[in-house]
Amino acid sequence: DFNFDKKLTIMVWAKLDDITPQEWGGMPRKENEYVLAPHKLGNKMEMTMWVNNGPAWVGQIPDPGVGPQLNFGEWHHYATTYDGDICRVYVDGKDIGNKKVGGAVNQTDAILRISNDCCGGRFMKGTLDEMVMAKDVFDATVIQDYMKKGIELYLSVGPVGKLSTTWGRLKGQKG
């Protein structure tokens, strides 16, 4: 259901070429819950986060103008965390800003949207890769590790010591 309570991490590699027809996008967005929102600033953009804690949306995180202005058409690693109190935004492994939100993330039955934000069609043009959504709060070291080594490092499954290979070895023994 992609609902989160007080622990949240979202990470994604993205090469955004444009945000159209409006100036905001959502990658991902869950209506009235959360949105990792690229914001178009003329021919550049900034990455922001918005969290709905029940009574209202809290954002823009970080505040306008605090994070770096980024070029369209370049790959960047974006991440955000929320620990039930503070929401942080990372670009290329660096904490670019945070804001106090406080409380649980609002929970709805809304669908998860990737690339399309609300409000009459806020679309992004570009490419997304290696999106991670976790009900945990990753620290800067873990976020940088994912960024540098890739998600396959964490998803790979080696056969040694696993139930199926151990059972197969035992079953194959003669005795």
Please report the pLDDT score of residue 99 as a whole number: 97
pLDDT, position 172: 67
Question: Are the C-beta atoms of 97 and 147 separated by less than 8 Å?
Answer: no
Structure confidence by residue, pLDDT tens digits, 104-162: 999 999 989 887 656 666 778 899 999 999 999 999 999 999 999 888 766 666 666 66
Q: Residue 36 has which token pair?
A: 């990792």
Got the DSSP string for 91-144?
A: ETTEEEEEEE--SPPP---PPEESS-BTTTTBEEEEEEEEEEEESS---HHHHH
End-to-end CA distance of the chain: 49
Q: What does pTM read for this prediction?
A: 0.86
Mean pLDDT (the chain, rounded): 88
What is the Cα–Cα distance from 95 to 127, expressed in whole angstroms? Answer: 23
Tens digit of pLDDT for each residue in 2-37?
A: 999 899 999 999 999 998 878 888 889 898 999 999
DSSP three-state, residue 167? helix
Q: What is the pLDDT of residues 29-66, one digit of tens each?
A: 898 999 999 999 999 999 999 999 998 999 999 999 99
**pLDDT at res. 135:** 95
Altogether, the residues listed in the chain come to a count of: 175
